[in-house]
Amino acid sequence: MTKPVQTLKTIAQKLGVSTATISNAFSRPDQLSATLREKILAACAEVGYMGPNKAAQSLRKGSSGIIAVVLSDSLEYMVSDPVASQFLKGVATELERNKLNLLLFSGSAASLDSIADFVDGFICYGAPRNLALVEELKRARKRVLTVDFDLPERPSVNIDNEQAAYEVARRVLTPVSRATVLGLRLIDSDTSGPVGDTPMWDNESSIAHRRLDGYLRAAAEAGVSLSNQQIWHIPVSSQYFAEAAALSALQQQPRPDVLLCMSDLIALSAIRVALAQGLRIPQDVKIVGFDGIEEGVRYNPSLTSVWQFSDAKGRAAVQAFLADSDQKQWLPYEIRQGESC
Amino acid sequence: MTKPVQTLKTIAQKLGVSTATISNAFSRPDQLSATLREKILAACAEVGYMGPNKAAQSLRKGSSGIIAVVLSDSLEYMVSDPVASQFLKGVATELERNKLNLLLFSGSAASLDSIADFVDGFICYGAPRNLALVEELKRARKRVLTVDFDLPERPSVNIDNEQAAYEVARRVLTPVSRATVLGLRLIDSDTSGPVGDTPMWDNESSIAHRRLDGYLRAAAEAGVSLSNQQIWHIPVSSQYFAEAAALSALQQQPRPDVLLCMSDLIALSAIRVALAQGLRIPQDVKIVGFDGIEEGVRYNPSLTSVWQFSDAKGRAAVQAFLADSDQKQWLPYEIRQGESC
DNA sequence: CTGTTAGCGCTTTCAT
DNA sequence: ATGAAAGCGCTAACAG
């Protein structure tokens, strides 16, 4: 009952032609007569031969049509993040358009080894949590494109996080503002709380620090003091930690009246907490987010935020990956005013 | 500057041993002395040889360590669905535990061909939207496990949708209920509206029809009439269509006082619409969902729903895939009472 | 314990 | 326009 496995060779024997001719029939139509090609294709269809084995093809040609998307964190973590989801949506759409396949790879995996030989290259969304991967990416022999961070000599797609953070903060800060930053992964700590004296982490590459730089520039310019006591660290992007941080931030004396949040998810948690505390938004406390997610638009009050167009970013990443250029590309963003400030 | 590409052969020559020995050093430690192995591994590390090429290994051994997850719809679509995300999270976690990689594949792709030779098998989450894929899966020569639908002779993981729908509906229906079903993809139509005379679609396999069967059984048992005029079709799971359907369903005369929704996302949309109409929940209208998503728990009012434990379902799917059995497995579910009925 | 050898299934010169 | 032959990089028998 089980049909025998067909290969180029068995087909060639059956038809009395060489394997090269069968191969050409599938991959290089111009190398043989149309009639012969038709005949071969028909015969293959009949016996259920689906074309050259892709694994063998990949070994021979050195390319597979599979692109790895290396996430910054473990997969289980990323799928529930709306920003990452939008980005992946863009990537998936554009890869599909180019008949390429998508291999999702965890940024917390031990090594790229297990997939490096299968894929044609890597699109990296955020610096991988496991820094060993960064080293592997640096010396990878295949095309690497980074998003939201940079690698020497490699193309990248970014927004100007510092400038965007500056702009959104500049809008809301006045000389009398009491501002607090709710930041993501600023220091090496598993609990949320003010950064205080703990040395900052990973200063160069992380988008969190770029955004913080922007907030600080805006604060300085507005004449608002923003010490490390007013900069809160949240260890991972989860509702639990965000709400805990927002709660204790809002319990400071004097209570802050501006919350600069490093993501919309954090900002939404902050809104929930503020409302639960009986505070009015924006009269008692103004809240701004970062990223741009649909839920922020629907929320009551709606969120003021930096819109990143993550879907378009995903598409741009694929296009830049496919193009040959090694440019570092900057994408536009937009400040969207909501009711939260 | 660019280092030469290393292969088993070049390494073997360099060390003056055979290729088999190098291969064994990596893959079958028991085949050579520990000292020789150490020496080989050290030498490889020094010249930057990362171990056998995985593509060649895969061609030779016939397995790659990559598992395809075939989605029911296009990737861009699934990524924003919280139920699918939870499932993927479970799958990803369990694959990672087993050192396997995950290739996401769109259920709207034209054919499995482009990846079939690269992967060790397929985990299919819902019947692929492109039915041609179903045929390919039926005759695939690799392991196939289905989730939320079945294929002859293939293992599967499911919940009893009919029974679950029956149970949740049975709780809320009384002889005087005026019930309406908000269903997903029941007929072949791009607009939402009552099913009416349009012939039902795809009757056997779809979970939507199994759930409908459960609702109908509960209605019959409760003595509630539930005609095709009270069964609404929603073409795709999106807030837009769900709200449109909920709105017109609630504008019927007499107004329904029970909304049986085929997903939590639909139920949440229905709650929003009902509230916007000034209706009280559950006094004026009772709403039940299906699936179990976090947002439903947080919602005000919280949602009564069938909990599927999608994360555990994903893990179970991988375990069943890896086990050799061809069993069709039933997973538990749970009715969770909320404030919405 | 180590080496030789024959492929896995395919593509690609290079002849014919 | 078609075919023969040499690998792509590796593993698994089998011999030694």
pLDDT tens for A252-271 read 999 999 999 999 999 999 99
Of B155, B137, B139, B138, give the one whose Cα is nearest residue B147. Answer: B155
Reduce the DSSP state of residue B332 to 3 states and report it.
Answer: coil
- What pTM does this model have? 0.88
**Percent of chain A at pLDDT exceeding 90:** 70
Q: Does A109 touch chain B (CB under 8 A)?
A: yes
| B314 CA, C7 C1': Å apart | 38
What type of residue is A297?
Answer: V
**Predicted pLDDT of residue B203:** 64
CB contact under 8 A, B79 and A99: no
Tokens of B325: 């059995």
Of A197, A181, A191, give the one whose Cα is nearest residue A263. Answer: A181
Tokens of A69: 């998307």
| Contact call for residues A70 and A122 (beta carbons, < 8 A) | yes
| Contact call for residues A304 and A267 (beta carbons, < 8 A) | no
**Predicted pLDDT of residue B204:** 67
Q: Where in chain A is the domain with CATH 1.10.260.40?
A: 8-52
Q: Does A129 touch chain B (CB under 8 A)?
A: no
What is the DSSP-derived secondary structure letter of residue B29? G
Give the Cα separation of A140 and A144 in Å (integer).
Answer: 8
Mean per-residue pLDDT, A46-74: 91
Of A124, A104, A88, A101, give the one whose Cα is nearest residue B77. Answer: A88
Check whether A1 has a pLDDT greater than 50.
no
b (16+ CB within 10 A) / e for B47-77: eebbbbbbbbbbbeeeebbbbbbbbbbbbbb
| A62 CA, C14 C1': Å apart | 22
For A80, the closest of B5, B85, B113 (CB atoms) is B85
Q: Does B53 touch chain A (CB under 8 A)?
A: yes
Give the Cα separation of B180 and B186 in Å (integer).
Answer: 14
**Predicted pLDDT of residue B1:** 44
Mean per-residue pLDDT, A10-35: 88
Q: How far is CA B147 from CA A62, B45, B80, B158, B162, in A?
A: 34, 43, 19, 6, 15
Is residue A3 very low, low, confident or very high in pLDDT (cuts 50, 70, 90)? low
Task: Specify the pairing of strand B193-194 against strand B231-234.
Answer: antiparallel
Indicate yes or no: strand D within 7 A of the C-beta of B191. Answer: no
Q: Is the CATH code 1.20.58.760 the one for domain B8-52? A: no
| A116 CA, C11 C1': Å apart | 22
**Predicted pLDDT of residue A81:** 86
Give the Cα separation of B42 and B61 in Å (integer).
Answer: 26
Of A332, A305, A329, give the one whose Cα is nearest residue A165. Answer: A305
The residues, ordered by sequence, that sit 6+ positions from A172 with a Cβ below 8 Å of its Cβ are A258, A260, A286, A288, A304, A341
**Predicted pLDDT of residue B30:** 84
Query: How many other C-beta atoms are found inside a 10 Å radius of the C-beta of residue B155?
Result: 21
Reported as half-sphere exposure (CB side, CA atoms, 13 A), residue B329 has a value of 22
Q: Where in chain A is the domain with CATH 3.40.50.2300?
A: 61-158, 161-307
Kindly report the CATH number that applies to the domain delimited by B161-307: 3.40.50.2300
Chain B contact set for A101 (CB, 8 A) = 103, 105, 114-115
**Predicted pLDDT of residue A204:** 66
Alpha helix locations (H) across chain A? 8-15, 19-27, 34-47, 54-61, 75-78, 82-97, 113-116, 131-138, 161-172, 207-222, 239-250, 264-276, 294-298, 310-322
Indicate yes or no: strand D within 7 A of the C-beta of A15. Answer: no
Check whether A68 has a pLDDT greater than 90.
yes
Query: How many other C-beta atoms are found inside a 10 Å radius of the C-beta of residue A31?
Result: 12
Rounded to 10°, the helix B8-15/B19-27 angle is 110
**Predicted pLDDT of residue A82:** 87
Chain B contact set for A104 (CB, 8 A) = 92, 102-104
Dmax (CA) for chain B in angstroms is 88
Rg (CA), chain B: 26
Mean per-residue pLDDT, A75-93: 85
**Predicted pLDDT of residue B206:** 85
Check whether A278 has a pLDDT greater than 90.
yes
| Contact call for residues A8 and A19 (beta carbons, < 8 A) | yes
Tokens of B291: 């699936």
Give the Cα separation of A158 and A136 in Å (integer).
Answer: 21
Indicate yes or no: strand C within 7 A of the C-beta of B132. Answer: no
Dump the DSSP string for B3-27.
PPPP-HHHHHHHHTS-HHHHHHHHH
Q: Does B109 touch chain A (CB under 8 A)?
A: yes
Output the CA torsion B311→B313→B315→B320 (10° steps): -170
Distance of CA B311 to the CA centre of its chain: 10
Q: Of all nucleotides in the shown strands, which has a C1' nearest the CA of B5?
A: D9
Alpha helix locations (H) across chain B? 8-15, 19-27, 34-47, 54-61, 75-78, 82-97, 113-116, 131-138, 161-172, 207-222, 239-250, 264-276, 294-298, 310-322
CB within 7 A of strand D (chain A, 40-79)? 56, 59-60
Kindly report the CATH number that applies to the domain delimited by B61-158: 3.40.50.2300
Calculate how close chain B gets to A234, using CA atoms only, in Å.
Answer: 21
| Contact call for residues A122 and A68 (beta carbons, < 8 A) | yes
Q: Of all nucleotides in the shown strands, which has a C1' nearest the CA of A21?
A: D2
Mean per-residue pLDDT, A275-301: 94
For B101, the closest of A89, A92, A103 (CB atoms) is A103
Give the Cα separation of A333 and A340 in Å (integer).
Answer: 19
CB contact under 8 A, A103 and B106: no
Indicate yes or no: strand D within 7 A of the C-beta of B201. Answer: no
Give the Cα separation of B66 and B44 in Å (integer).
Answer: 25
Q: Does A80 touch chain B (CB under 8 A)?
A: yes
Calculate how close chain B gets to A162, using CA atoms only, in Å.
Answer: 28
| A60 CA, D7 C1': Å apart | 9
Length of chain A: 341
Chain A contact set for B297 (CB, 8 A) = none
| Contact call for residues B137 and B122 (beta carbons, < 8 A) | yes
Q: Does B251 touch chain A (CB under 8 A)?
A: no
**Predicted pLDDT of residue B149:** 93
Q: Is the peptide bond before B254 cis (omega within 30 degrees of 0)?
A: yes
Query: How many other C-beta atoms are found inside a 10 Å radius of the C-beta of residue B8?
Result: 21
CB pairs under 8 A between A and B: 126
| B66 CA, C16 C1': Å apart | 43
**Predicted pLDDT of residue B202:** 67
**Predicted pLDDT of residue A203:** 64
Calculate how close chain B gets to A131, using CA atoms only, in Å.
Answer: 18
| B98 CA, D3 C1': Å apart | 46
Q: Does B116 touch chain A (CB under 8 A)?
A: yes
**Predicted pLDDT of residue B205:** 72
pLDDT in tens, A296-339: 998 889 999 999 999 999 999 999 999 988 999 999 999 999 99
**Predicted pLDDT of residue B200:** 85
Q: Does B7 touch chain A (CB under 8 A)?
A: no
What type of residue is B231?
Answer: I
Indicate yes or no: strand C within 7 A of the C-beta of A57. Answer: yes
Calculate how close chain B gets to A303, using CA atoms only, in Å.
Answer: 19
| A27 CA, C14 C1': Å apart | 19
CB contact under 8 A, B117 and A54: yes
Q: Does B55 touch chain A (CB under 8 A)?
A: yes
Mean pLDDT by 10 residues, chain B (341 residues): 74 87 88 86 87 92 93 80 90 92 90 93 94 94 95 96 98 97 93 90 80 97 95 91 96 96 96 96 97 89 97 97 94 97 90
**Predicted pLDDT of residue A307:** 98
Q: Of all nucleotides in the shown strands, which has a C1' nearest the CA of A59?
A: D8
Give the Cα separation of A45 and A42 in Å (integer).
Answer: 5
